Amino acid sequence: MAQQADTLRIARAESADALLAPLFFLSSDALRGRLIGTPEIDTAAGYIASQFKRAGAKMVPGADGYYQNFSYQFQRLSQVVRMEPQLFERVSFIRPTRLKNVLAYVSGTDPVLCRQYIVLSAHYDHIGVADSALFENGKRDSIFNGARDNAAGTAAVIAAARYFVRHPPRRSVLFICYTGEEEGLIGSNYFATHPLVPLEHIVYDLNVDNASYNTTEAICIFGRDRTSEDSIMQRACRAYGLEALEDPTGGAESLFERSDNVSLAKWGVPAPTYSMGMTDWDDGITNRYHRVSDEADDIDKDYVVKFIRTYILMAQGIADDPKQPRWARGDFFEEFWETLYHRSAK
């Protein structure tokens, strides 16, 4: 019953169009693929900050407004050149690059649990523009719009911020849009090593990132069964008629290790990645992942709306969970968890 009331409240909070607006803006051609070091990624960051501000989410003490600014010095070219054909543009990264994470928070309602934070994170950067046009999906194009990867995830975090400001859960919630994920989780690693909230106060990270999707009947959660929140996550999916899948490749694509969740996980914070439905890493995924055809115009809007609302419901369940989240018994990260929170997992 309680869950039904929540889904109704989430549905009434925002129209489908309002939920999708950040996805369409961030993946528009004007933002030219949100590559680090370009003016367009700063436009993206400014937009996210303005969304946080308009929502009424608070600035994190110690941040520069809604930004965590830092400078990053790439050590070698191979660190930035992970895929052709952007070699030329990436050579400039050998100089120090100015980067920014965008973040905000909302205080929890419980007098004790409000000292603990749930992080809702997504990277907002992508891989820019190809040197020459590519022919994909029936047209010539050179902009890697990154609608699924990861304008959709950024839209989910923005929607969560709007919702939780109006309906705060028991724990506090920290919203972080990371930069530099595509060059090797740079923004999330910077946050993890320069956390503006002490790491031991961060008890969970529900990260969002996407390659693409090949089913609209499911959500994938990489690391779903590795934390104590599995049943809460499955229940949230069921409320929207969605199946909650683990990594369908069984670890072959290292989907758990490939996104920003790992930056906090390696310090002990339970941190899975929430992702669009994938039954396998097939051609449907390959043909969109880091391709110029990852555009918003042919995305399944009803599915993305469900994807965002499920994310909010799931985050609420975790933020309200009376028990502190933990890694599953015997998990690789369990001893890091014990160290971080000064607790025995036994």
* # residues contacting Zn ion (CB under 5 A): 3
Of residues 113 and 296, the one with the C-beta less far from Zn ion = 296
Q: Which stretch binds Zn ion (CB under 5 A): 83-91, 150-158, 162-170, 246-254?
A: 150-158
Q: HSE (CB half, 13 Å, CA atoms) of 183?
A: 31
Q: Which stretch binds Zn ion (CB under 5 A): 11-19, 128-136, 149-157, 250-258?
A: 149-157
* C-beta of residue 70 within 8 angstroms of C-beta of residue 194: yes
Report if residue 209 touches Zn ion, rule: CB under 5 A: yes
Alpha carbon distance 4, 30 (integer Å): 40
Torsion, Cα of 220, 223, 226, 232 (10° steps): -40
Report if residue 273 touches Zn ion, rule: CB under 5 A: no
Neighbours of 265 (CB within 10 A): 27
Q: Which stretch binds Zn ion (CB under 5 A): 27-35, 86-94, 202-210, 233-241?
A: 202-210
Q: 301-320 vs 153-166: helix axis angle to the nearest 10? A: 50
- What is the enclosing helix (H) or strand (E) of 309? helix 301-320
Smallest gap from residue 201 Cβ to Zn ion (A): 26
Q: Judging by beta carbons within 10 Å of its beta carbon (0-12, 13-18, 19+), is residue 55 exposed, middle or buried?
A: buried
Smallest gap from residue 177 Cβ to Zn ion (A): 12
Identified binder of Zn ion from the candidate list 86, 101, 150, 189, rule CB under 5 A: 150
Binding mask 231-270 for Zn ion (x = CB under 5 A): ----------------------------------------
Q: Which residues contact 160 (CB under 8 A, 6 or more apart)?
A: 120, 173, 175, 311, 312, 315
CA neighbor of 105 nearest in space, from 55, 58, 53: 58
Smallest gap from residue 123 Cβ to Zn ion (A): 6
Smallest gap from residue 317 Cβ to Zn ion (A): 24
Report if residue 141 touches Zn ion, rule: CB under 5 A: no
Of residues 141 and 149, the one with the C-beta less far from Zn ion = 149
Identified binder of Zn ion from the candidate list 40, 89, 149, 229, rule CB under 5 A: 149
User: Which positions touch Zn ion (CB under 5 A)?
Assistant: 149-150, 209
